[in-house]
Amino acid sequence: MQEIPYKIYLEENEMPTQWYNVRADMKKKPAPILHPGTLQPVTVNDLAPIFCEELAKQELDDTTPYIEIPEEIRNFYRMYRPSPLVRAYCLEEKLQTPAHIYYKFEGNNTSGSHKLNSAIAQAYYAKKQGLKGVTTETGAGQWGTALSMACSYFGLDCQVYMVKCSYEQKPFRREVMRTYGAKVTPSPSMNTNVGRKINAEFPGTTGSLGCAISEAVEAATTQEGYRYVLGSVLAQVLLHQSVIGLETHTALKKYGIKADTIIGCAGGGSNLGGLISPFVGEMLRGEADYEIIAVEPASCPSLTRGKYAYDFCDTGKVCPLAKMYTLGSSFIPSANHAGGLRYHGMSSIVSELYDQGLIKARSVEQTSVFEAATTFARVEGILPAPESSHAIKVAIDEALKCKETGEAKNIVFGLTGTGYFDMYAYQAYNDGTMSDYVPTDAEIEKYLSSLPTV
């Protein structure tokens, strides 16, 4: 057999030309999303005032298995894709494990993460529809950065509502967005009714993601030629992110490697869903079997401690409801939670796959995550994002189990991005001031008790 290189790069002509829509192969589909007013399944027409039409169609399409990637998007992908599937030789040696560890590295682009895969698709469809621009919210700024880059490429206006405390405390991502021409507004702002109302009610507030979503949605629906876009959770986002899994699948096949365990971090589920889609497809069609592990923070444990129920996708309760594993739409992780993965719910596709037993879930505490991140950085040379490091933590755990059992498992995990804009969190870890937080059962119960009755 061919020797496995450190980095497996596909040729450009081996890159996917179609996204894979895993819902098409699911016998039991994810539950439909519901209109927040009528509580009836939404239609493309319901979604059209908020979302681009083509994206609304993709959101509701659970039967077409493969959807063509337009040439313009494929050209953009070629600027930073195919992303490498890396054999973690140095990590294996460090751990002295018989396991073979691979990671799909999505951080080699200026947005620093996989978010760009969907941002460029969403910007493309907005442009194609003849829109002037898009609005969105961003917390730490990973999604906002990706969207800014995508909009800059297609000449679209990009309006980002950035949670005020991030805007002030994390100025670097804000400046990356501005460099790409985006208008970045600290939220709550005085641009929108909802922003003015919140500022009047809570003077000096530093904002929240829920408030920023509400402002972005209002901005999209009150300006001619604008729509709202979202970087995770939605089925359309998982569809676009399937490019991660498809490349991984092709690369493994090219070298005759059969994955045993596939691991991804999970916040809203976009990276995990994209990575595992083609593999889950094989499981659904009875062609292969894999152990799939979703890793979430112990401080925001939607899969491991949440409830599978209909819930609002946003704190402001203006977006549709989805059936998902959720902690309740008012849940906000403790302030000492460092990384992303802070969404209260989980993609309805990932939720349904979890409910069907096709994937497992595990929660990990952040100090152990940064310990794994530091180990990884020192031997593999890449300083990982806190989000991605959740997957690293479990990949290391699994590789150490192999060391005990002597099994030479093939472990594949998603390294979604780099941590260059997360050095405050690393500083806390380096200084020994980072702490862990796990919500009590009573706290979880409190948030879950306010789930809507559907």
**Binding footprint of a copy of itself on the chain (CB under 8 A):** 5-7, 9, 11-12, 76, 78-80, 90, 108-110, 112, 149, 152-153, 171-172, 175-176, 178-181, 374, 377-383, 418, 420-421, 423-424, 426-427, 429-430
Pick 146 or 319: Cβ nearer a copy of itself: 146
Pick 15 or 438: Cβ nearer a copy of itself: 15
Residue 385 contacts residue 417 (beta carbons within 8 Å): yes
- CB 26, min distance to a copy of itself, A: 34
Residue 55 contacts residue 122 (beta carbons within 8 Å): yes
- CB 241, min distance to a copy of itself, A: 18
Could you count the other beta carbons within 10 Å of the beta carbon of residue 408?
A: 11
Pick 20 or 180: Cβ nearer a copy of itself: 180
- CB 89, min distance to a copy of itself, A: 8
Pick 68 or 175: Cβ nearer a copy of itself: 175
Largest CA distance in the chain: 68
Pick 66 or 255: Cβ nearer a copy of itself: 255
Phi, psi of 391 (to 5 degrees): -70, -40
Pick 29 or 378: Cβ nearer a copy of itself: 378
The DSSP result for 293-353, as a single string, is EEEEETTS-HHHHSEEEEEESSTTS-SPEEEEEES-TT----TT--SS---SB--HHHHHH
Question: Residue 418 and residue 362: Cα distance in Å, rounded?
Answer: 22
- CB 82, min distance to a copy of itself, A: 9
Pick 371 or 407: Cβ nearer a copy of itself: 371
Could you count the other beta carbons within 10 Å of the beta carbon of residue 181?
A: 14
Bridge-based pairing state of the strands 7-8 and 133-138? unpaired
* Cα separation values, 254 from 243, 248, 274, 414, Å: 16, 10, 20, 18
Classify the C-alpha dihedral 196-186-227-319 as positive or negative: negative
DSSP 55: H
Question: Residue 210 and residue 32: Cα distance in Å, rounded?
Answer: 22
CA 391 from centroid of its chain's CA atoms: 13
- CB 22, min distance to a copy of itself, A: 28
- CB 108, min distance to a copy of itself, A: 5
Question: Residue 139 and residue 121: Cα distance in Å, rounded?
Answer: 21
- CB 173, min distance to a copy of itself, A: 8
Pick 379 or 438: Cβ nearer a copy of itself: 379
- CB 252, min distance to a copy of itself, A: 18
Pick 36 or 414: Cβ nearer a copy of itself: 414
Pick 109 or 232: Cβ nearer a copy of itself: 109
- CB 164, min distance to a copy of itself, A: 18
Question: Residue 219 and residue 206: Cα distance in Å, rounded?
Answer: 19
- CB 135, min distance to a copy of itself, A: 20
- CB 389, min distance to a copy of itself, A: 12
The residue among 369, 409, 67, 30 whose CA lies nearest residue 240 is 67
Pick 172 or 202: Cβ nearer a copy of itself: 172
**Any residues with CB less than 8 A from the CB of 433 and at least 6 apart, and which?**
none
Half-sphere exposure (CA, 13 Å, Cβ side) for 16?
26
CA 355 from centroid of its chain's CA atoms: 19
* Cα separation values, 14 from 17, 45, 120, 331, 344, Å: 9, 37, 20, 42, 37
